[in-house]
Amino acid sequence: MSIEAAQTPAQRALEVRELQAFYGKSHILQGVDLHVYEGEIVALLGRNGAGRSTTVKAIMGMVDTQGEILWRGKNIQGMKPYEIAHLGLGYVPENRDIFPKLTVHQNLMLGEKAGRKSSRWTFEDMYRLFPRLRERQHTEAGVLSGGEQQMLTLCRTLMGDPDLIMIDEPTEGLAPAVVRQVADYLRELRRRGVSVILVEQKLAIALEISDRVYVMGDRRIVFEGTPSELKADASIRREWLEV
């Protein structure tokens, strides 16, 4: 049975309704509707320019918006990014934003939320998920490879113990072995009850690990369904995903 069939609307962690987003006078998102259940991985697919990155930035309060963004029933539309983060939402940007002069371990320490007494994640968890980070824990982050910096960015966000994490293009430019590590990381999030919105270009990996998928085109949602339903819909893939 699918998550959609098995759960009720009351169990939705995040619900976005008629979301509009703007960069200045440019109207980017034009009525996006989506939802994410507790402990679910949802892939957000589409070509470059479709509005995927803007969607997760809008949910995180980083662009001007209209509409409703409900986090566990509370409308967070219009809140500041730091306020949204303190409610339990995490965001991993595409640009692998690290502190280059600090060590790997120091970067992870900065991810911890002040005043939080307990977390489902420890430093040992991070080093187990990505053993290369254990080897490099005393190395300045600025000299890490692109793949290592991506691992660090993913783990630093997790150290804040989010209940939902939005990840923008985590496998971009990574070697196949590192892509598999990222996939295992995402499965571990789901196993521990963390919801995920995954913005991804690699269709195969997205369909392999996601519970549901949305396809964006022309700055709106043009498809919602399971990975198997998307695989079976050649017309959607041809019109909105294939180059």
User: How far is 73 from 103, CA to CA, in rounded Å?
Assistant: 39
DSSP H or E run through 6 = helix 3-6
List, for residues 71-94, the tens digit of each pLDDT value. 999 999 999 999 999 999 999 998
User: How far out from the chain centre does Cα 127 lie?
Assistant: 20
Ramachandran angles phi, psi of 238, nearest 5°: -65, -45
Per DSSP (E only), the strands in the chain are 12-23, 26-37, 41-45, 64-71, 74-75, 89-92, 164-168, 195-199, 212-217, 220-225
Pick the more confident residue, 24 or 4. 24
- Pairs from 58-64 (Cβ < 8 Å, separation ≥ 24): 58/19, 58/21, 58/29, 58/32, 59/14, 59/16, 59/84, 59/89, 59/166, 59/197, 60/84, 60/85, 60/89, 60/91, 60/166, 62/91, 63/21, 63/22, 63/23, 63/28, 64/21, 64/22, 64/23
CATH of 3-240, one of 3.40.50.1470, 3.30.750.80, 3.55.40.20, 3.40.50.300: 3.40.50.300
Average of per-residue pLDDT across 207-235 = 96
DSSP H or E run through 38 = none
Res 119: pLDDT: 82
Q: Residue 3 above 80 pLDDT? A: no
CA-to-CA dists, residue 240 to 75, 192, 222, angstroms: 31, 33, 8
Q: What is the pTM of this model?
A: 0.91
Place of tokens 């009720």: 8
Res 115: pLDDT: 63
Q: Residue 9 above 50 pLDDT? A: no
Burial of 67 (0-12, 13-18, 19+ CB in 10 A): middle
Average of per-residue pLDDT across 103-129 = 89
Is residue 190 within 8 Å of 197, Cβ to Cβ?
Answer: no
Res 117: pLDDT: 65
Q: Residue 8 above 60 pLDDT? A: no
Q: Residue 196 above 70 pLDDT? A: yes
pLDDT band at 5 (very low <50, low <70, confident <90, very high): very low
pLDDT band at 10 (very low <50, low <70, confident <90, very high): very low
List, for residues 179-194, the tens digit of each pLDDT value. 999 999 999 999 999 9
Average of per-residue pLDDT across 159-175 = 94
pLDDT > 90: percent of the chain: 85
Is residue 111 within 8 Å of 159, Cβ to Cβ?
Answer: yes
Q: Residue 45 above 70 pLDDT? A: yes
Ordered by start, the domain boundaries in the chain are 3-240
Write down the mean pLDDT value for the chain: 92
Res 77: pLDDT: 96
